[in-house]
C-alpha cells in the first residue's frame, strides 16, 4: 500500500478506536503563530505528545498558557497524514491546579445550595449605618488599612473591633470560622456590642482565596446571629463565603462603605430635616393664627349677646302662643266631634232606628214567605216528576214486569228457579200468580 493509504488507515484506527481523550501534563514547548493556532507538546517524566489547538477552540481558554504550566486538555487523537505525525487535536484546556479546585468548589456549592444556605430568606438584614463594626481579616494586610481609611473618611464615629486571623494557607479557614464564633459569643454574653461583621481580604489567585471557599467557613457564616458582609478580593466569580453571607462586597473598601453612611450624607440629612422642621413650624404657626382670627371674629360683646338672647326669647314666646292657640283649636274640634258621636249613640236614636227596621221587615215578610212557598212547591213538583220517570211504575207502564218468588225476592236469573216453583208477576195494573213450567238460559 502507499504511504498515504497507510497514514489514512492509521488515522482512522486512532480516531475510531481510541477517539477523544483527556490528559493532564506539563507544556514542553509552545508556538503561537499569526494564524492564531497553538502548537505545543505535552510531556511527563518519560514521554511527550505533539498537540494542536486551533484558533476557534483556544478562544475559550480563560488563561494564557506558557511553557512549564501544568494543564488538563481534552481532544481527539489523530495523525497528520502529510507528515505521518501522531498528535492530539485539543478542543479544551484548563489549568491543572485551578481546574481541580474549581471542580471541588462546584461540588461544595451544590451541596450547600441543596441545604438552603444560599437562600435569601435566611439572610439577616444589615443596618444602614453601623457604629460598632467587627472585622475578621489579617492584621497586616491591606484590607484592614482600607477599611480604617474608608471609615475615617465616611464615619469617624464608628468603632472597629479587629479579630486577627490568617487569610491564606491551611490554617486560615479554621481561624476565620473560630473568629466568627468568638464574635457571636462576645455579643451573646454582652461583652461586646457589634452591629455587623466584615469577613474578607484583598485580591489574589484562586489558591490564595481558597480559605473563603471552605465548608467550615460557610457554616460558621450561616449560623452567625450577627449580620455578615463578605469582602473577598477582586474576583469576578463569587466565593462560597459571598453566597452564604448576608451581603457581598467586591472589596473591603466597598464593605466599609456598605455598612456606614457618609458624614456628608448625615449633614445633608440634618439640613433636610431642619428645612422640613422649619417649614412644618411655619405651617403650624399659620394654622394657629388662622384659628385665632376665626375665634376673634366669633367673639362678641355681652350686650350684643344679651340682645341676641332677648330676640331668641321673643321668638320662643311667639312660637309658644301660636302652638297653644293651635292646640286649643284642635281640642275644640275634637270636642265637637265627640258630641256628634254621642248624639248618634243615644238610646232614643237607637230605638227609633230599630223600630224603623222592624217596620220595614214586617212589610217585606209576607212577600218573602209567598216567594219561598212558591219556590218549594215548584221544587216538589219537579222531584215528583223526576221520581215518577225513574221509578219502577213507569217501567211497568211500558210493558215490563217484575217477577218475585214466594219470599218476595226479585228473580233476575232463570237459573235460580226450577220447574214447578210458584212465582208472582207484577204488571202495570195488577199481579199474576203462576207456576214455572219450563226454564231457558
What HEC string does 211-280 produce? HHHCHHHHHHHHCCCCCEEEEECCCCCCCHHHHHCCEEECCHHHHHHHCCCCHHHHHHHHHHHHHHHHHH
Tens of pLDDT along 316-349? Answer: 999 999 999 999 999 899 888 888 887 777 777 7
The grid coordinates listed for 202 are 484583598
The grid coordinates listed for 384 are 215528583
pLDDT of amino acid 99: 61
Q: Report yes or no on 236 lying in a domain.
A: yes
CA dist 344 and 338 (Å) reads 10
What DSSP character marks residue 198?
E
Among 216, 236, 261, residue at a domain's last position: 261
Same structural domain for residues 68 and 80? Answer: yes
Same structural domain for residues 200 and 130? Answer: yes
Same structural domain for residues 278 and 226? Answer: no
Same structural domain for residues 137 and 81? Answer: no
Reference 221, options 205, 206, 235, 232; nearest CA is 232
Question: Please, are residues 197 and 183 in contact by the beta-carbon 8 Å criterion?
Answer: yes
pLDDT of amino acid 270: 81
Reading phi first (left if > 0) and then psi (alpha if -120 to 50, else beta), residue 289 is in alpha
Same structural domain for residues 215 and 270? Answer: no
* pTM of the predicted structure, to 2 decimals: 0.46
Q: Report yes or no on 345 lying in a domain.
A: no
Q: Report yes or no on 37 lying in a domain.
A: yes
Reference 48, options 27, 68, 21, 70; nearest CA is 27
Same structural domain for residues 179 and 244? Answer: yes
* Rg of the chain over all Cα atoms, to the nearest angstrom: 64
pLDDT of amino acid 384: 86
The grid coordinates listed for 110 are 451544590
Same structural domain for residues 290 and 225? Answer: no
Domain of 431, in residue numbers = 396-435
Same structural domain for residues 160 and 248? Answer: yes
Same structural domain for residues 65 and 165? Answer: no
Sequence-ordered list of residues with C-beta below 8 angstroms from that of 114, at least 6 positions apart, any chain? none
Same structural domain for residues 59 and 149? Answer: no
CA dist 181 and 171 (Å) reads 16
pLDDT of amino acid 411: 87
Q: Report yes or no on 157 lying in a domain.
A: yes
Among 252, 283, 298, residue at a domain's last position: 298
CA dist 53 and 94 (Å) reads 13
Same structural domain for residues 76 and 151? Answer: no
Q: Report yes or no on 163 lying in a domain.
A: yes
CA dist 224 and 215 (Å) reads 14
* Inter-helix orientation angle 215-222/172-188, to 10°: 10
Q: Report yes or no on 109 lying in a domain.
A: no
Task: Kindly give the parts of the chain with pLDDT less than 50.
Answer: none
User: How many folded domains does the chain comprise?
Assistant: 4
Sequence-ordered list of residues with C-beta below 8 angstroms from that of 147, at least 6 positions apart, any chain? 133, 135, 137, 160, 198, 252, 253, 255, 256
Q: Report yes or no on 34 lying in a domain.
A: yes
Q: How far is CA 33 from the centre of its chain?
A: 63
Question: Please, are residues 95 and 63 in contact by the beta-carbon 8 Å criterion?
Answer: yes
Same structural domain for residues 59 and 36? Answer: yes
Amino acid at each position: 500500500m502507499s504511504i498515504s493509504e497507510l497514514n489514512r488507515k492509521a488515522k482512522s484506527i486512532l480516531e475510531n478506536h481510541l477517539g477523544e481523550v483527556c490528559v493532564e501534563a506539563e507544556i514542553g514547548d509552545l508556538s503561537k503563530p499569526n494564524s492564531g493556532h497553538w502548537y505545543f507538546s505535552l510531556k511527563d517524566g518519560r514521554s511527550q505528545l505533539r498537540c494542536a489547538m486551533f484558533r476557534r477552540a483556544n478562544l475559550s481558554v480563560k488563561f494564557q498558557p506558557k511553557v512549564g504550566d501544568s494543564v488538563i486538555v481534552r481532544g481527539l487523537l489523530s495523525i497528520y497524514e502529510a507528515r505521518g505525525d501522531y498528535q492530539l487535536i485539543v478542543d479544551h484546556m484548563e489549568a491543572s491546579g485551578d481546574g481541580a479546585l474549581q471542580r471541588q468548589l462546584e461540588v461544595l456549592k451544590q451541596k450547600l445550595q441543596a441545604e438552603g444556605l444560599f437562600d435569601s430568606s435566611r439572610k439577616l438584614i444589615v443596618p444602614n449605618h453601623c457604629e460598632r463594626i467587627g472585622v475578621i481579616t489579617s492584621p497586616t494586610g491591606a484590607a484592614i488599612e482600607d477599611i480604617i481609611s474608608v471609615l475615617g473618611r465616611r464615619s469617624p464615629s464608628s468603632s472597629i473591633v479587629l479579630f486577627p486571623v490568617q487569610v491564606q494557607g491551611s490554617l486560615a479557614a479554621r481561624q476565620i470560622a473560630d473568629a466568627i464564633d468568638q464574635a457571636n459569643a462576645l455579643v451573646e454574653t454582652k461583652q461586646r456590642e457589634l452591629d455587623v461583621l466584615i469577613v474578607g481580604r484583598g485580591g489574589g489567585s484562586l489558591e490564595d482565596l481558597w480559605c473563603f471557599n471552605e465548608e467550615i467557613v460557610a457554616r460558621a457564616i450561616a449560623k452567625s446571629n450577627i449580620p455578615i458582609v463578605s469582602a473577598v478580593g477582586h474576583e469576578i466569580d463569587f466565593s462560597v463565603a459571598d453566597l452564604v453571607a448576608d451581603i457581598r462586597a467586591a472589596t473591603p473598601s466597598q464593605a466599609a462603605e456598605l455598612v456606614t453612611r457618609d458624614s456628608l450624607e448625615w449633614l445633608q440629612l440634618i439640613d433636610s430635616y431642619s428645612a422640613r422642621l422649619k417649614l412644618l413650624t411655619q405651617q403650624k404657626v399659620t394654622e394657629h393664627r388662622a384659628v385665632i382670627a376665626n375665634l376673634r371674629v366669633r367673639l362678641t360683646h355681652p350686650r350684643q349677646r344679651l340682645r341676641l338672647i332677648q330676640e331668641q326669647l321673643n321668638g320662643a314666646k311667639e312660637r309658644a302662643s301660636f302652638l297653644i292657640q293651635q292646640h286649643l283649636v284642635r281640642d275644640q274640634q275634637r270636642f265637637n266631634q265627640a258630641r256628634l258621636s254621642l248624639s248618634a249613640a243615644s238610646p232614643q236614636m237607637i230605638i227609633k232606628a230599630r223600630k224603623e227596621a222592624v217596620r220595614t221587615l214586617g212589610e217585606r215578610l209576607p212577600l218573602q214567605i209567598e216567594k219561598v212557598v212558591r219556590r218549594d212547591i215548584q221544587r216538589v213538583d219537579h222531584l215528583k216528576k223526576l221520581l215518577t220517570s225513574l221509578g219502577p211504575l213507569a217501567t211497568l207502564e211500558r210493558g215490563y214486569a217484575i217477577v218475585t218468588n214466594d219470599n218476595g225476592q226479585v228473580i233476575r236469573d232463570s237459573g235460580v228457579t226450577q220447574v214447578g216453583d210458584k212465582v208472582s208477576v207484577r204488571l202495570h195494573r195488577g199481579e199474576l200468580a203462576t207456576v214455572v213450567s219450563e226454564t231457558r238460559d
